[in-house]
């Protein structure tokens, strides 16, 4: 099979401030795998260097390592090709692109949505959260009110970027008691003690969950055990050996790019659940193919809380396939063949 790789640059409407730096644009690699039958499957690699420490050039090189494997793989089953690529390239961000393209190709070949191939239902809705990106109280409150007016029922705010408690209180006042508010500290707090002290300040605001209050599995376990009434979610720390299987936190946030695609994400979810953690999905500002892949995986996994997949609106000038529209705080699992979207 042939492999085509094309870089793509997407710009955020508004640069996003996080505890790991400001994100202003995204560089992706669009991947196409074309078989001798002429059927092409599309995937994308979406490393976010400031977040996962993986550079685009390294992902490109890892994809090149898969090229000779793919050339020799004509006619082999998808799972076997993926296994061979996993042997040739170690970066999950590259494997994710290959995995997405292989699923897309298989679905297009048999004219079925990927969700169906996973034994799930295409067309079902997946609850998603929206991100409140303004870092000042008034701006965040206005943004949150607009998101709720647009149908959102779960909002996420960054924490550890200053005036967290004031901003969260302003948002709570603006949206009322029913809307779910979740926080993401991106590991901003340095000790479990500091994290617990910061989190106690939000007690009255009613927080659905806190993502990555601190980095490290044992530190996260400490925070979760100290605050049993609060749902702690492991995100960045899930990359460490044994982290997903640790059961340290009530929730684990899984990302397609970091898990190595749909296949890797479903494997990771099974491990997390076996250890007693619930899972949900999130994007690292993936492109449309990554978002579609995550929706198919979510159909198979049915997370019990909203997933962070409503991120395509953050891009400036991206003509998003209407299939990926967000309505009333949900997204629909695409029903077309393969991933069911155009890139
Ligand atoms: Mg996060």
Residue spans of the domains in the chain: they are: 2-111, 125-332
Helix/strand/coil for 76:
coil
For residue 251, the CA-to-ligand 1 centroid distance in Å is: 12
* Interacting residues of 104 by C-beta distance below 8 A, sequence separation 6+: 41, 42, 43, 114, 289, 338, 339
* Interacting residues of 231 by C-beta distance below 8 A, sequence separation 6+: 208, 209, 210, 250, 251, 305
Architecture of domain 2-111: 2-Layer Sandwich (3.30)
For residue 235, the CA-to-ligand 1 centroid distance in Å is: 5
For residue 80, the CA-to-ligand 1 centroid distance in Å is: 32
For residue 255, the CA-to-ligand 1 centroid distance in Å is: 9
For residue 187, the CA-to-ligand 1 centroid distance in Å is: 9
Structure pTM?
Answer: 0.96
pLDDT band at 203 (very low <50, low <70, confident <90, very high): confident
Mean pLDDT in residue range 170-176: 97
For residue 97, the CA-to-ligand 1 centroid distance in Å is: 21
pLDDT exceeds cutoff 90 at 309: yes
Lowest mean pLDDT among 8-22, 72-86, 99-113, 155-169: 8-22
For residue 212, the CA-to-ligand 1 centroid distance in Å is: 6
For residue 136, the CA-to-ligand 1 centroid distance in Å is: 20
pLDDT exceeds cutoff 70 at 239: yes
pLDDT band at 287 (very low <50, low <70, confident <90, very high): very high
pLDDT band at 343 (very low <50, low <70, confident <90, very high): confident
pLDDT exceeds cutoff 80 at 4: yes
Beta bridge partners, 331, equal 126, 326
CA–CA separation, 250 vs 318, rounded Å?
Answer: 35
For residue 339, the CA-to-ligand 1 centroid distance in Å is: 24
Q: Does the structural domain 125-332 have CATH classification 2.60.40.3880?
A: no
- Is there a common fold for 2-111 and 125-332? no
CA–CA separation, 221 vs 235, rounded Å?
Answer: 13
For residue 202, the CA-to-ligand 1 centroid distance in Å is: 18
């Amino acid at each position: 099979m042939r492999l085509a790789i094309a870089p793509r640059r997407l710009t955020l409407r508004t640069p996003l401030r996080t505890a790991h730096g400001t994100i202003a644009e995204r560089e992706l690699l669009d991947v196409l795998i074309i078989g001798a039958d002429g059927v092409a499957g599309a995937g994308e690699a979406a490393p976010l260097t400031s977040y996962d420490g993986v550079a685009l050039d390294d992902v490109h090189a890892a994809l090149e390592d898969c090229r000779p494997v793919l050339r020799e793989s004509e006619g082999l089953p998808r799972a076997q090709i993926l296994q061979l690529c996993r042997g040739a390239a170690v970066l999950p961000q590259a494997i994710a692109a290959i995995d997405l393209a292989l699923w897309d190709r298989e679905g297009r070949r048999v004219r079925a949505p990927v969700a169906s191939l996973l034994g799930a239902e295409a067309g079902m809705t997946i609850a998603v959260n929206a991100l409140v990106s303004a870092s000042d109280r008034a701006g965040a409150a206005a943004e949150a009110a607009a998101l709720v007016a647009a149908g959102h029922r779960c909002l996420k705010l960054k924490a550890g970027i200053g005036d967290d408690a004031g901003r969260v209180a302003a948002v709570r006042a603006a949206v009322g008691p029913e809307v779910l508010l979740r926080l993401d500290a991106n590991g901003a707090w340095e000790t479990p003690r500091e994290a617990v002290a910061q989190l106690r300040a939000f007690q009255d605001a009613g927080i659905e969950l806190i993502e990555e209050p601190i980095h490290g599995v044992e530190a996260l376990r400490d925070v979760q055990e100290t605050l049993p009434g609060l749902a702690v979610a492991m995100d960045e720390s899930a990359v460490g050996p044994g982290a997903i299987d640790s059961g340290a936190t009530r929730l684990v946030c899984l990302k397609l790019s970091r898990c190595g695609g749909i296949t890797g994400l479903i494997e990771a979810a099974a491990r997390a659940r076996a250890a007693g953690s619930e899972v949900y999905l999130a994007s690292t500002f993936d492109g449309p193919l990554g978002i579609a892949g995550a929706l198919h995986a979510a159909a198979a996994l049915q997370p019990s809380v909203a997933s962070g997949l409503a991120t395509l609106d953050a891009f400036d000038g991206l003509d998003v396939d209407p299939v990926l529209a967000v309505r009333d705080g949900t997204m629909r699992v695409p029903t077309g063949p393969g991933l069911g979207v155009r890139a």
